[in-house]
Amino acid sequence: MKTINLEAGMPDSQSAMNTLNNRIYAERATGARCIKIIHGYGSTGKGGAIKIACHRKLNEYCRRGIIKDFCPGEDLGPFSAHGRDFAVNCPEVRRDIDWGMDNEGITVVQFK
Condensed to tens digits (0 to 9), the pLDDT of residues 13-60 reads 999 999 999 999 999 999 999 999 999 986 665 668 999 999 999 999
pLDDT score of 67 more than 70: yes
Domains and CATH numbers, the chain: 2-110 (3.30.1370.110)
Q: 4 pairs with which residues across the strands?
A: 37
The tally of CA atoms less than 13 A away on the side-chain side of residue 81 is 0
Q: What's the pLDDT at 91?
A: 96
pTM, full prediction = 0.94
